[in-house]
Structure 1
Amino acid sequence: MGSSMLCFSCTSFVLNVIYILLFLTLFRFSFSQPVCRDEERSSLLQFKESFITDYSASDEPHAYSKVAFWTNKEESRDCCMWHGVECDEITGHVISLNLSSSYLYGSLDSNSSLFNLVHLQILDLADNDFNYSQIPNAIKRLSKLTYLSLEDSFFSGQIPSEVSELSKLLQLSLCNNIDPFGKSLLELKKPIFESLTSNLTSLEELFLNNVYISSTVPKSLANLSSLTSLFLRDCHLKGEFPVDIFQLPNLQYLSVRFNEDLSGRLPLVLNQRSSLKSLLLSGTRFYGDLPSPVEKLASLTEFKASGCNFSRAILSSISKLNQLTFLDLSENNLSGTLNFDMFIILKNVTVLVLSQNKLSLIFSSWINENFPQFTVLHLSCCNLRTFPHFLMHQKNLQILSFVGNSLIGELSSAICNLSSLKVLLLSNNKLGGELPHCFGKFSKLVSIVDLSNNSFSGNIPEFTKGNQLKIINLGYNQFEGKLSKSLTHCKMLRYLNVESNKLNDIFPYWLGTLPELIILQLQKNEFRGVIEEPRTNLHFPKLRIVDISYNNFFGKLPLKYIQSWKTMRSTSLVDSNYMMTIPFQTRSTSINVNYSYYMMITPFQIRAKNSLLTYLHYLDITIAIKGIRIHYEKIQNIIAVLNLSNNKFDGEIHKIIGNLVGLHALDLSNNLLKGGIPTSLTNLTKLESLDLSQNSLLGEIPSDLDHLSFLQYFNVSYNNLSGPIPHTHLITFDSSFYEGNLGLCGILLQNLCGALEQPLPSYEEERNSPFQFGWKVVAVGYGCGFLIGWFIGKVVIARKPNWLVETFSIRG
């Protein structure tokens, strides 16, 4: 009994102590909550009112307008409780402002109330749209800042020297301020790079990706002993990279990728205390042997050195890093024979890229289950003849590329066992036979399939419902029969290429139901017949590039389709999400338009929310027209191309084509078209290539076509055109582009236009003219003057061919 009472008494005492402590904690907490200061609340509200909410100002899927919840209402006046705001617990001053991904749109200048918050230690304005504002000089007023992020927010111009006065900064991020076409907006010239960092001696993280620096890398960076992250991607850096930077004791992440004028060597000896985890050198001129000291980097997890000038690889020594997860040595000058079994030791490698070197890979003849479980494997141009056996045991493989090898035989049905596969690239090999029956349904995760430039035959396989296919390239094979209507199950399909096969079918109007289709290539097949009016409610709603050339289509031009292609009638940027680089490319060789698609692989990011691989693909386009190559990089959704050439279309070129104002290339050559060139084509102000040759067109070349200043190729040869060639821009093209038109005249051709070529009046007309005598004198004088002038002009041009250009801004 006594014992029980004692236990109860002890328990009661303990509970009382806990209650007292909880009460004291709550009491202290209630009095330690900071209260917003009136002047800082006012500054925050003024800052809010100076911007509007624009939901296109952020690409972050979890973005929301933090300032939307800021209010002066009594119940919510405490700014320390507002979204994105943090106050000092004692003083109540605002010390942190995180407005990243807040849909802010507007300009920021030195008069902004933001700079009244002089106690700020953290300022994050990333992922907004500040409308090409310059970074205000008033930034120096925030002298207590330790963290400043203005990345990806459309700031432009020179980075002010006042940034270098923020001597307490630990992290500075000004990266990825680029326009919709990928051009750098921020630049670092005055102050120069070295001046910016000279006073920032406490820096731990420096992010300047896509800042236009265009200078050498200052050696003084090697004095920043606290530096852990240095990101200088695509900054137009040049000269030799200071080798001492590799010796920084705390450096973990170093990226100087895509500075094509930056050279350097890895140091022969590395600091034994080196903690380097990520070394990114791709797209530079780093040279020498690999791995050099890389084998001593025990912490290294990511090494990217693609597109460099490394000449020799002692890859066997890399196996002494067994922490590696990402290894990319593609596009170097590495040569020799490599036994692939060495990678068995690298158990943690998930991404391996050895493409486009001079290596010859050797695989064991037995089935090996001990290889790492790759997620990305690129072994293009590695002199392979057979598929490696270890692929049968790959359970996590998402991207597989064997482009440009000498693979022979049929594609095994074992490929269907790769259940995680998203991208399959097997172009430019010697594979043949029919595709396995499981091919069209082996993985609903696959988004890209490229089997082009092989010898596959038979029918195109059936595709199942619910697939994720976005790019299908089956061009340059021997597929036959009809185009499979199961392609309508590919609801996410953006790019379909079946060029240069033996397909025999009518125009596949049913593809018009695909809501995302942007590019359709059917050229060089045996498609036939009249392209009738659309039979579906959807008529290719997003189609921008169409090539059905070199087939057997006839009848009138498909005006109903042309009228329905609304996206070709737009010149605006439709989708700016396709704007990153890291190319893994396959080019087709169509007669007019070459397409490349690139894969962006974004592995472990420094500040990312997770470390999963993400994938983004887009199309990179080169229009190649008889020797003229027009390259469009990273902006595929504003390019429009229509190629109906080398068929048997007849009738007139309807004026409705002039509504396709987004067109960059139009090719109607080698058909049976009649009538005149419609003046509505002068509406195509973006046009860079126009080919109407090899038809039966009549009449004159519309003079307003001379105003299409973007034209780089213009061909109307072998028609029945007459009249003068417009004499400003169109006479700059080669004379062969006008030949075969007996009625055409102009400075480019033998038959000159002018008064001498006009029919002379009859005798009766001359006799009855009140200007009889005067006309004769004028005619003789004009004719003699013209001949003399023409002769002198020929002499001058022969001796000084640039005289016409310099004098009249035209080319002969």
Structure 2
Amino acid sequence: MKVSNNRLGGLVSGGMNNLSNMNELYLDRNKFEGTIPYSLSGVLKVMDLNDNELSGNLDNSLWNLSSLVVLNLAGNHITGKIHPQICGFMGLHFLDISSNNLTWYVPNCIFIQLNFVNLSENSFSGDISFPFFNTSSLISLDIRHNQFTGNLHWVRYLDNIRLLTLGRNKFEGPVNPKVCKLMYLRIIDLSHNKLSGSLPACIGDMSFKGDTDDQMLEPVYGEIYNGSSYDLRGFTFASKGNLYTYGRSFFASMSGIDLSANMLHGEIPWELGNLSHVKSLNLSYNFFVVPIPMTLSGMEEIESLDLSHNELSGPIPWQLTQLSTLGVFSVAYNNLSGCIPNSGQLGFGMESYLGNTNLHQITQGDMCAAPSPDPAAGKEVEETTGDPVLYVVTAAGFVLAFWATIGFSFYHPYGRSVMLKM
């Protein structure tokens, strides 16, 4: 049954308990209310109830849905914690319970062959320094916007991961160099955590090259039964200052690294220039130092490059003007110096270069001129220093008055009498 994207309402529980003759249930993007029934049975393979008004706890302890492959409850108001019984759905490949009000810990389901997991935008917590899902089967893991803690050493076991988004949690420690072993990785988002240390240079050895014929996608995209398949959607990644949502196409259309808003420091590895297939790189709001590597010009497909809010110094490498695909660029609020390249692909507005005191523009005469002052600062200077012409007139008046006084004192009779009395 498929009644997606309508304005249907009422209680979702009415008549749902016995699903014995139904293989797929699509009630997504409607206005159904109430709680999900506790007793569900049948041969259901797909249950998609995302983007409704469902509430209450997610209690699947009495479900008898051994054939379930897809469970999508995203975008509702479901509360409480995930019942451990969910680990009993051995055939489950796709689990999306994002954008709810779920809390507590995630049960340890290392025996389920889950491929796509989205737990983002909830209030899950706990230390996940160890994996809680079968790492060898995971293709996409999105747990952004939660309260997870611990280190990221467990990430190295995600042998088949394509999309890994862990942003806006409380992970800490270094970026483990063994992440470089994830040979199929396409998108990684570790932003807005407490990661520290230097960035492993071996990241530059990763391919980040997608494949539209990726065989690992088949468990969900392939035939579930009788030629039917499930349309993956809802995986997001921030690039060019915006949040984009990707379906299956993201494996071919997007590749990116977001490490922004952490405590990473040291040099930006020159090896990142080998990432010729990466379209988005965000290292902003960290503590990277020394010059920008000129080797970044090797990122042939880069569309968005954000190095702002660091402690980078030295000039902007002219080699970056060769990045023909670059659409968004920022080195604002660093300690850069020298001239802003005025050719090639770096002809962006001054907002891309703000906050670099010693960074100058190139004028029409190919001269390296100081950047235009802040209008507010200029007004303050004008009020305190005044017009330069006024300085000249004032100085000349002072000199004339001085010599007139001397002449009057020595040559006028009254002036001489005054001087003799002193």
The alignment's TM-score, normalised by the length of structure 1, stands at 0.40
Match of 1:319 in 2: none
Separation of aligned partners in 1, 2:196 and 2:19: 60
Aligned counterpart for 1:348 among listed residues 21, 36, 47: 21
Q: Superposition pairs for residues 117-516 of structure 1, below 5 Å?
A: 327-332=1-6, 334-337=7-10, 340-342=13-15, 348-360=21-33, 373-386=43-56, 392-436=63-107, 439-440=108-109, 444-455=112-123, 477=124, 479-485=125-131, 490-508=135-153, 511-516=155-160
Separation of aligned partners in 2, 1:739 and 1:338: 54
The 1:756–1:697 alpha-carbon spacing in structure 2 relative to 1, beyond 3 Å, is: closer
Deviations 1:724-743 (CA, angstroms, capped at 9, x unpaired): 22223545423211111122
Separation of aligned partners in 2, 1:394 and 1:629: 33
State the Cα distance separating 1:645 from its structure 2 match.
2.4
Aligned counterpart for 2:211 among listed residues 567, 574, 578: 574
State the Cα distance separating 1:717 from its structure 2 match.
0.8
- 1:746–1:753 CA contact under 8 A, matched in 2: no
State the Cα distance separating 1:485 from its structure 2 match.
4.9
Separation of aligned partners in 2, 1:346 and 1:532: 46
Separation of aligned partners in 1, 2:135 and 2:50: 27
State the Cα distance separating 1:710 from its structure 2 match.
1.4
The 1:408–1:726 alpha-carbon spacing in structure 2 relative to 1, beyond 3 Å, is: same
State the Cα distance separating 1:720 from its structure 2 match.
2.0
Separation of aligned partners in 2, 1:420 and 1:449: 14
The 1:451–1:335 alpha-carbon spacing in structure 2 relative to 1, beyond 3 Å, is: same
State the AA in 1 paired with 2:92. Answer: L
- 1:621–1:636 CA contact under 8 A, matched in 2: no
Aligned counterpart for 1:636 among listed residues 208, 228, 251: 251
The 1:550–1:344 alpha-carbon spacing in structure 2 relative to 1, beyond 3 Å, is: closer
Separation of aligned partners in 2, 1:728 and 1:410: 56
The 1:626–1:755 alpha-carbon spacing in structure 2 relative to 1, beyond 3 Å, is: closer
Match of 1:681, SS? helix
State the Cα distance separating 1:526 from its structure 2 match.
3.5
The 1:630–1:753 alpha-carbon spacing in structure 2 relative to 1, beyond 3 Å, is: farther
Separation of aligned partners in 1, 2:106 and 2:136: 22
Deviations 1:274-325 (CA, angstroms, capped at 9, x unpaired): xxxxxxxxxxxxxxxxxxxxxxxxxxxxxxxxxxxxxxxxxxxxxxxxxxxx
The 1:630–1:705 alpha-carbon spacing in structure 2 relative to 1, beyond 3 Å, is: farther
Deviations 1:327-356 (CA, angstroms, capped at 9, x unpaired): 211012x33425754567986322121111
Match of 1:14 in 2: none
Which runs of no fewer than 5 residues in structure 2 stay unpaired?
A: 371-422
Deviations 1:127-163 (CA, angstroms, capped at 9, x unpaired): xxxxxxxxxxxxxxxxxxxxxxxxxxxxxxxxxxxxx
Match of 1:524 in 2: 168
Separation of aligned partners in 1, 2:231 and 2:31: 28
Match of 1:276 in 2: none
The 1:650–1:753 alpha-carbon spacing in structure 2 relative to 1, beyond 3 Å, is: farther
Match of 2:279, SS? strand
- 2:234–2:245 CA contact under 8 A, matched in 1: no
Match of 1:682, SS? helix
- 2:189–2:259 CA contact under 8 A, matched in 1: yes
The 1:684–1:363 alpha-carbon spacing in structure 2 relative to 1, beyond 3 Å, is: closer
Aligned counterpart for 1:655 among listed residues 270, 281, 299: 270
Match of 1:678 in 2: 293
- 2:60–2:83 CA contact under 8 A, matched in 1: no
State the Cα distance separating 1:694 from its structure 2 match.
1.5
Separation of aligned partners in 2, 1:373 and 1:630: 31
Aligned residues: 369
- 1:578–1:635 CA contact under 8 A, matched in 2: no
Separation of aligned partners in 1, 2:167 and 2:276: 23
Match of 1:311 in 2: none
- 2:287–2:310 CA contact under 8 A, matched in 1: yes
State the Cα distance separating 1:690 from its structure 2 match.
0.7
State the AA in 2 paired with 1:634. Answer: S
Separation of aligned partners in 1, 2:35 and 2:128: 40
Aligned counterpart for 2:314 among listed residues 699, 711, 716: 699
Match of 1:407, SS? strand
The 1:632–1:710 alpha-carbon spacing in structure 2 relative to 1, beyond 3 Å, is: farther
Separation of aligned partners in 2, 1:506 and 1:513: 13
Match of 2:239, SS? strand
State the AA in 2 paired with 1:444. Answer: I
Percent identity of paired positions between Structure 1 and Structure 2: 27
Which runs of no fewer than 5 residues in structure 1 stay unpaired?
A: 1-326, 456-476, 582-597, 605-610, 759-812
State the Cα distance separating 1:553 from its structure 2 match.
3.3
Separation of aligned partners in 2, 1:756 and 1:695: 24
State the Cα distance separating 1:428 from its structure 2 match.
1.9
Match of 1:549 in 2: 191
Match of 1:736, SS? helix
Aligned counterpart for 2:261 among listed residues 646, 657, 666: 646
Aligned counterpart for 1:718 among listed residues 333, 339, 360: 333
Match of 1:698, SS? strand
State the Cα distance separating 1:621 from its structure 2 match.
5.3
Separation of aligned partners in 1, 2:183 and 2:246: 25
Task: State the structure with bigger RCO (CA 8 A, min sep 6), 1 or 2.
Answer: 2
State the Cα distance separating 1:357 from its structure 2 match.
1.3
Separation of aligned partners in 2, 1:644 and 1:540: 17
State the Cα distance separating 1:670 from its structure 2 match.
2.0
Separation of aligned partners in 2, 1:628 and 1:435: 26
Separation of aligned partners in 1, 2:99 and 2:198: 37
Deviations 1:245-267 (CA, angstroms, capped at 9, x unpaired): xxxxxxxxxxxxxxxxxxxxxxx
Match of 2:303 in 1: 688
Match of 2:273, SS? helix
The 1:550–1:395 alpha-carbon spacing in structure 2 relative to 1, beyond 3 Å, is: closer
State the Cα distance separating 1:617 from its structure 2 match.
5.4
The 1:711–1:578 alpha-carbon spacing in structure 2 relative to 1, beyond 3 Å, is: farther
State the AA in 1 paired with 2:156. Answer: G
Match of 2:203 in 1: 562
State the AA in 2 paired with 1:674. Answer: V
The two structures, once aligned, show a CA RMSD in angstroms of 3.9
Of 665-674 and 637-646, more deviation after overlay is shown by 637-646
- 1:512–1:540 CA contact under 8 A, matched in 2: yes
Separation of aligned partners in 1, 2:358 and 2:12: 69
